[in-house]
Amino acid sequence: MDWGMKNRMAQLIQADGHCLFLPVDHGYFQGPTKKLEEPRKTIEPLLPYADALFITRGVLRSSVDPDKSKPIILRVSGGTSMVGKDLANEGITTSMEEAIRLNVAAVGLSIFVGTDYERESLLNLAKLVDEGEKYGIPVMAVTAVGRELEKRDARFLALSSRIAAELGARVVKTYWCEDFERVIGGCPVPVAMAGGPQVATELEVFAFVYDGMQKGAIGVNLGRNIWQNDFPVAMIRAIRAIIHENASPKEAQELYESLKSGGVTG
Ligand code: 5RP
């Protein structure tokens, strides 16, 4: 691995081998997502606790100060919307030249395995990897499920994650699921977990993050379950404790409750 690639990977994956990526890219197909209507307000209080931000160029330029930033994973796929025909029909939206201009640590793109646009999205990934490798920029592949949340099982996620790794992704972002060890076992590159829509309790989030870490995930790329929480700073700090301090779900819950009652808002 060349110096630039190594340096960027080290910006993303911390010295303990773990990572907490904060995705705020949802608007690229969802519009003003709940609690992300004004991205700057959502991002600023959480930024000190994130290892990297997953974000589009538009929100990066408009809502993150260049002198107070964190490593950037630039979302470079899109072109579809919640109200359009097919979420899977994404293309590459941002050039590698632009990624370099923005001094990013990585680029990220979704793949849509099992859809009508499987081939296009996989070839987009392969093309992005070719470009990224040329300039020492790692690619994070996102194993998307579109509206079909029920697809989030070990068989599908293991298949998608492995394909992403085979095509050259340096990091794979996928969902946690039951039998998550099957996903990790079949994927020869680091795996970060997404959360999906907000779940009923904080403890459920702590439990799946902890389980995934025990099974070999390097960390999370977790958005809505952090910033849609009523106490997002308490939430990100509790998740950070699991990822970087090996806290148990119970310890994370206690930390969350104490920060919440201590008046940590944000
Ligand atoms: C949506 C994404 C997000 O980065 C990913 O889904 C993680 O966010 P969340 O934890 O909210 O699911 O790719 O475009």
Residue with CA closest to ligand 1 atom 8:
223
**Which residues on neighbouring strands pair with residue 142, listed in sequence order?**
110, 173
Residue with CA closest to ligand 1 atom 1:
26
pLDDT digits (tens, 9 = 90+) for 191-245: 999 988 999 999 999 999 999 999 999 999 999 999 999 999 999 999 999 999 9
Enumerate residue ranges in the chain where pLDDT < 50.
none
SS (H, E, C) 94-107: CCHHHHHHCCCCEE
Instruction: Find, among 235, 175, 199, 221, the residue nearest to 55 by Cα.
Output: 221
| pTM value > 0.85 | yes
> What is each CA distance from 158 to 39, 181, 211, in whole angstroms?
32, 9, 16
Domain ranges of the chain: 3-224
Centre of ligand 1 to C-alpha 26, Å, is: 6
Centre of ligand 1 to C-alpha 167, Å, is: 21
Q: Is the CB of 27 under 6 A from ligand 1?
A: no
pLDDT at 151: 77
CB contact at 8 A, 175 and 145: yes
- Token readout for 174 is 């996928």
85 labelled catalytic? no
Active-site option among 151, 173, 215, 260: 173
pLDDT at 215: 98
> What is each CA distance from 87 to 55, 146, 167, 181, in whole angstroms?
18, 6, 22, 28
CB contact at 8 A, 103 and 72: yes
Ligand 1: residue of 26, 111, 112 to mutate (most ligand atoms within 8 A of CB) is 26
Q: Which class is 3-224 in CATH?
A: alpha beta
